[in-house]
Amino acid sequence: MVGAGQAGVQAALSLRHGGFDGAVTVIGDEPELPYQRPPLSKEFLADPGQQPLPLRAERFYDAHDIRLLRGERVVTLDRAAREVHLGSGGRLAFDHLVLALGARNRTLPVPGHDADGVLTLRTLRDAERLRDRLAGATSAVVVGGGFIGLEFASVARARGIPTLLVEAGERTMARAVSPAVSGFLTAGHRRAGVRILLGTTVRRLLARRGRVVGVETDDGRRHPADLVLVAVGAVPNVGLAAGAGLPTADGILVDACLRTPDPRVFAVGDCARYPSPAVGSPVRLESVQNAADHGRCVAETLLRGQPTPYRAVPWFWSDQGELRLQIAGVPTGAERAVLRGDPDAGAFSVFSFVAGRLVAVESVNRPADHLAARRLLADGRPLTPEQAADPSFDLRSHSRSRPEPGPPAVS
Ligand X SMILES: Cc1cc2nc3c(=O)[nH]c(=O)nc-3n(C[C@H](O)[C@H](O)[C@H](O)COP(=O)(O)OP(=O)(O)OC[C@H]3O[C@@H](n4cnc5c(N)ncnc54)[C@H](O)[C@@H]3O)c2cc1C
- What are the CA-CA distances from residue 53 to residues 56, 57, 71, 223 (Å)? 9, 9, 18, 35
How many other C-beta atoms lie within 10 A of the C-beta of residue 252?
27
Q: Which stretch binds ligand X (CB under 6 A): 28-36, 51-59, 157-165, 373-381?
A: 28-36
267 belongs to the binding site for ligand X (CB under 6 A) = no
Q: Which CB sits closer to ligand X, 121 or 359?
A: 121
| Least distance between ligand X and beta carbon 5 (Å) | 2
284 belongs to the binding site for ligand X (CB under 6 A) = no
| Least distance between ligand X and beta carbon 152 (Å) | 8
Asked if residues 104 and 234 have their Cβ atoms less than 8 Å apart, the reply is: yes
Q: Which stretch binds ligand X (CB under 6 A): 4-12, 51-59, 222-230, 249-257?
A: 4-12
Task: Candidates 1, 3, 232, 352: give the one binding ligand X (CB under 6 A).
Answer: 3
| Least distance between ligand X and beta carbon 382 (Å) | 27
Cα 342 from chain centroid (whole Å): 27
369 belongs to the binding site for ligand X (CB under 6 A) = no
DSSP 323: E
d(CA 274, CA 267): 9
Instruction: Specify the pairing of strand 281-283 against strand 315-320.
Output: unpaired
How many other C-beta atoms lie within 10 A of the C-beta of residue 118?
22
Site for ligand X in 147-166 (CB under 6 A): 148
Q: Is 150 helix (H, G, I), strand (E, B) or coil?
A: helix
d(CA 205, CA 91): 43
Residues β-bridged to residue 206? 214
299 belongs to the binding site for ligand X (CB under 6 A) = no
Q: Is 287 helix (H, G, I), strand (E, B) or coil?
A: coil
Q: Which stretch binds ligand X (CB under 6 A): 37-45, 134-142, 253-261, 383-391?
A: 37-45
362 belongs to the binding site for ligand X (CB under 6 A) = no
Q: Which CB sits closer to ligand X, 133 or 204?
A: 133
328 belongs to the binding site for ligand X (CB under 6 A) = no
Q: Which stretch binds ligand X (CB under 6 A): 51-59, 88-96, 283-291, 326-334?
A: 283-291
Task: Candidates 186, 318, 326, 399: give the one binding ligand X (CB under 6 A).
Answer: 318
Q: Which CB sits closer to ligand X, 100 or 383?
A: 100
Task: Candidates 20, 60, 317, 393: give the one binding ligand X (CB under 6 A).
Answer: 317
Cα 348 from chain centroid (whole Å): 23
Task: Candidates 266, 274, 310, 316: give the one binding ligand X (CB under 6 A).
Answer: 316
30 belongs to the binding site for ligand X (CB under 6 A) = yes
Task: Work out the angle at residue 290's Cα, subtended by the Cα atoms of residues 247 and 28, and round it to the nearest 5 degrees.
Answer: 70
| Least distance between ligand X and beta carbon 291 (Å) | 3
100 belongs to the binding site for ligand X (CB under 6 A) = yes
> If binding means CB under 6 A, how many residues of this protein chain bind ligand X?
35
8 belongs to the binding site for ligand X (CB under 6 A) = yes
Q: Which stretch binds ligand X (CB under 6 A): 191-199, 207-215, 246-254, 287-295?
A: 287-295
Q: Which of 45, 235, 226 is nearest to 118 (CA)?
A: 226
Site for ligand X in 39-98 (CB under 6 A): 40-41, 73-74
From first CA to last CA, the distance across the chain in angstroms is: 45
Asked if residues 103 and 31 have their Cβ atoms less than 8 Å apart, the reply is: no
Asked if residues 349 and 362 have their Cβ atoms less than 8 Å apart, the reply is: yes
Q: Which CB sits closer to ligand X, 104 or 113?
A: 104
d(CA 224, CA 195): 13
Task: Candidates 16, 85, 96, 122: give the one binding ligand X (CB under 6 A).
Answer: 122
Task: Candidates 288, 337, 373, 383: give the one binding ligand X (CB under 6 A).
Answer: 288
- What are the CA-CA distances from residue 292 to residues 130, 233, 256, 284, 341 (Å)? 27, 21, 16, 14, 31
Asked if residues 150 and 186 have their Cβ atoms less than 8 Å apart, the reply is: no
d(CA 106, CA 280): 27
The residues of the shown chain that bind ligand X, judged by CB under 6 A, are 2-8, 27-30, 37-38, 40-41, 73-74, 100-102, 121-122, 148, 237, 240, 269-270, 286-289, 291, 316-318
